[in-house]
Structure 1
């Protein structure tokens, strides 16, 4: 897609007779925007799955639409369909269309060995939880600097706070551990990070940014994946006029 969303929005012939922007134009602009961010941020070089990336941004724009929710233009994506031997966490700065961090992340020991296969929202399952989260405040815990997470997907991750599923650093998240054991170490359900990168990543994503954890689970469903609302929210942000179909 070579046409920018700004160029799409500027063509009077693409607007409906009432002055409102048509659904088709908003959708085209949204898809173009997603592609441009993907390209400019260099995400193709990391082999970030396009479908996973798209779901994450749809969720981000739906979160922006939620009443009373002012979130940062930062999206963190975790793709637990990848091997734990691979880097599978991305932090994107949408405002500047930059990839801030690309690194390893551990899954829960109840979720699988090298691959994450089993997910749960239940206490004491030691499993990772899928879905959309809003990051909260930091604290100093047994793993040092840690970041609380508010799970937003009912039946999938809403017990994150009560389960103490947080972002923290861990020595078992390292290339050295992979070389020794053939996979990353595993947490009690937390998306644990490499110790050396934890402080910087938490600093970038704390206090109301979007986190999306994807996994190969056919049972997962979320209202935050509603595309029509995401497209309308995007259009209201980038088009100067009232973006209604």
Structure 2
């Protein structure tokens, strides 16, 4: 009786270390896979950025933009994945901060001045809003939509893909040309002109740019605002390796 009782106590103790070791191994395997996935995206984004060969492009803005682009691509929310447009609102409006990136050739096809909303700031944009009549720029990821002829000529509608820009269409936030977006205007006024919230482009080449990015490409308006970056799922959730490999 005592022998049976002793075996009953000892046997579970013998098997428990094996069970615990296997669980720990599986846990470690998951961590390794997650770590490899993260490292792969970081390496991918660094390599891509180096191939663009433009140190003026903020790497953080590019990396966030690329991550969101890949996630939207993986979710089949983009009908044209050839182009990724990044607008870096951390830069002065007197600098070229509009980047049209060809993701297939990994080149910057167009680099341009771009206006921000009049209530977002003077030379620098520092305030952003999704509210109607705020006349401020809105941060985050957009999908380009249809073109149309409006009061500013050939223009491109935008659909916001996040909480931070969901009212873009209602607010008539579009890409259009403006005579106040030029080096000449900067020379005469000390800064670029401002819009009612639209990312307005110079009159030169704007038709070419709109024709390239219309109908389903990704556009990302960046600013290092913790309030946005901490809430954006497209920024905080890392793109999977499947999107990178596709």
Q: TM-score, normalised by structure 1?
A: 0.82
Pick one of 153, 163, 168 that aligns with 1:160.
Answer: 168
Pick one of 205, 208, 212 that aligns with 1:200.
Answer: 208
Q: Is the Cα contact below 8 Å between 1:119 and 1:128 reproduced in 2?
A: yes
**How many Å separate the matches in 2 of 1:24 and 1:83?**
36
Q: Is the Cα contact below 8 Å between 1:74 and 1:209 reproduced in 2?
A: yes
Q: Provide Cα deviations, 1:55-77, integer angstroms capped at 9, x if missing partner.
A: 00000011012255433221100
Aligned twin of 1:83 = 92
Provide the secondary structure at the position in 1 that maps to 2:176. strand
Q: Is the Cα contact below 8 Å between 1:134 and 1:210 reproduced in 2?
A: yes
Q: Provide Cα deviations, 1:95-147, integer angstroms capped at 9, x if missing partner.
A: 11111111100001011110101111111111100100000010011111100
Provide the secondary structure at the position in 2 that maps to 1:196. coil
Aligned twin of 2:218 = 210
RMSD: 1.8
Structure 2 regions of 5+ residues with no counterpart? 1-28
Q: Once the 2 structures are TM-superposed, how far is the Cα of residue 36 of structure 1 from its aligned partner?
A: 2.1
Instruction: Say which one has the larger Rg.
Output: 2
Structure with the higher helix share, 1 or 2: 2
Q: Once the 2 structures are TM-superposed, how far is the Cα of residue 236 of structure 1 from its aligned partner?
A: 4.6
Q: Once the 2 structures are TM-superposed, how far is the Cα of residue 187 of structure 1 from its aligned partner?
A: 0.3
Aligned twin of 1:41 = 52
Q: Is the Cα contact below 8 Å between 2:41 and 2:241 reproduced in 1?
A: no
Q: Is the Cα contact below 8 Å between 1:117 and 1:216 reproduced in 2?
A: no
Q: TM-score, normalised by structure 2?
A: 0.82
Q: Does residue 139 in structure 1 map to residue 168 in structure 2? A: no
**Which aligned runs of 4 or more in structure 1 are off by greater than 6 angstroms?**
none
Residue correspondences, number: 214
Aligned twin of 2:138 = 129
CA 1:235 to 1:210, structure 2 compared with 1: closer, same or farther past 3 Å? closer
Q: Does residue 99 in structure 1 map to residue 131 in structure 2? A: no
Pick one of 214, 233, 236 that aligns with 1:223.
Answer: 233
